[in-house]
A and B are shown apart, each in its own frame.
Chain A
C-alpha cells in the first residue's frame, strides 16, 4: 500500500515544482527588480566586472530578503529534495534489486537528501535573518 502513496507524492511534488520552478525562472528574468533584465551586466565588454543584471549581488539579496520569495524558495527546495531523492531511490533499486540493497539505498538517499535540505535551508534562513524579516 505504501508505494502508491510514495508515487502519488512523486507526481504531486512534480506538479508543484513545475509551478514554483516557473516562478523561480520568471524571478530571474521578467520579474526581477532591475530595469535592464539581462542576466549579467558588465562594466564593459572586455572587463569582466559585474555592475548589474539579475544575477548581481544586490539584485539577488533584494529578492532573498523578502519573506514571500524566501518561503517560495524553501517550499521549492523541500519538494525538489523529495522528488529528486525518491527518483534516485527508484533508479538505484531497479539497478540493484534485492531486500538488503533496498535498505542501503533508502537510507543513503534519505541521509544525502537531508544534508542537501539542511544546507539549502541554512542559506535561505540566514539570508532572511540578515535582511531582517
Chain B
C-alpha cells in the first residue's frame, strides 16, 4: 500500500468513508458516496477527507484551515456526533465505516460545507462587544483577576457552529438564537467592564430567546473547546429571573490612568 502521509508509518487498515454529497448545480437530492481510505496511525478524519480529494474524488468540498483544532472551520457530523474533523482520530472511532455528514440545522451549500450565516447573524444581534456610554475611552478599563474568572470560560469559543447543530431546540425552531449567541451574551453581561445589559435585554427575554433552552446540554457535550455554553445560558437565566424582582445592576469598571500621562514604567 502506498504511504498516504509521510512519516506516519505502516497502513494499519482500510476504512470506508461514507460521505454525504450534494451538488448545488444539479437538481438532485443529497446522496451518500463511499470511498476506501487506507489508515495510518495518527490519521485524522480531515486527513482522510484530504486523501479522498487527492486520490479518489477531487470534487469533494469541505472547509478546513488550521488542521489543529483552533480555527473551527472543519466542524462536521462524524458517526452521528458533531466533532472537529482535524481533532478526530480515525482509529479512535473503532469502526470500519465512517459516516461523514455536514453540520445539521444549517443550509448545506455543497457536500460538507454548511452555510453559517445563521450563526453569525444571531451572534451579531446579541451585541457581542463591550457597550459603554463613552465612545472613545482614553485608557484601559481596570479588571481584577477574580472578575475575569467569572466569564473567562466563555471567551474560548472558536465559532465552529457545532453547538447549534446539536441543540434540540435549534432542530425545529428557526428563530431561536442558539447556544453560541446566548453564551456570548452572558460573556459580555458578566464582564465587569460592560454596561449594556438593558440594550440586550429585549432580545434575550423574547419569545425565541433564552427561555427556549431546555437544558439538554448537547451543546456542551459536543463543544470542541469545552466552553460549556449550557452553563452560560443557565447563569443568564438566573440573571433574568432575578431581574424580575430586583433590577440587575452592572457596575462598569473604571478607566485606568490616561496613557499619555504615564511617563515612566511603574
Contacts and interface: CB of A to CB of B under 8 A. Distances in A.
Within the complex, are A and B direct neighbours (CB within 8 Å)?
A: yes
Interface of A: 1-5, 7-8, 90, 93-95, 97-98, 102
B173 A97 contact: yes
Nearest to B209: A3
A90 to B, nearest CB: 7
B174 A3 contact: no
A5 B175 CA distance: 20
Contacts of A93: 173, 207
B65 to A, nearest CB: 33
B205 A4 contact: yes
A47 B44 CA distance: 71
Given A3-B205, A3-B211, A4-B205, A97 B244 contact: no
B201 interface: yes
Interface in B44-64: none
Given A8-B244, A97-B208, A1 B202 contact: yes
A36 B40 CA distance: 73
Contacts of A3: 205-207, 209, 211
Contacts of A4: 205, 211, 240-241, 243-244
B186 to A, nearest CB: 15
B212 interface: yes
Nearest to A94: B173
A12 to B, nearest CB: 11
- How would you classify the secondary structure of chain B's contact residues: helix, strand, loop or mixed? loop
A96 to B, nearest CB: 9
B169 interface: yes
A93 B208 CA distance: 9
A98 B212 contact: no
Contacts of B206: 3
Contacts of B174: 97
Contacts of A8: 241, 244
Contacts of A97: 173-176, 208
A94 B211 CA distance: 11
Contacts of A1: 201-202, 205
B205 A98 contact: no
Name, among B169, B174, B207, the residue most crowded by chain A CB atoms within 10 Å (CB to CB).
B207
B211 A7 contact: yes
Given A3-B211, A7-B211, A8-B244, A94 B205 contact: no
Contact of B169 (A2, A7, A94, A98): A94
A99 to B, nearest CB: 9
5 pairs of A and B residues whose beta carbons are closest in the complex: A97-B175, A94-B173, A7-B211, A4-B240, A97-B173
Interface in B160-176: 169, 172-176
A3 B201 CA distance: 11
Nearest to B202: A1
26 contacts: A1-B201, A1-B202, A1-B205, A2-B205, A3-B205, A3-B209, A3-B211, A4-B205, A4-B211, A4-B240, A4-B241, A4-B243, A4-B244, A7-B211, A7-B241, A8-B241, A8-B244, A90-B212, A93-B207, A94-B176, A97-B173, A97-B174, A97-B175, A97-B176, A98-B175, A102-B207
Interface in B129-188: 169, 172-176
A8 B173 CA distance: 22
Given A2-B205, A93-B207, A94-B172, 17 more contacts: A1-B202, A3-B206, A3-B211, A4-B205, A4-B211, A4-B243, A4-B244, A5-B244, A7-B241, A90-B212, A94-B212, A97-B173, A97-B174, A97-B175, A97-B208, A98-B175, A102-B207
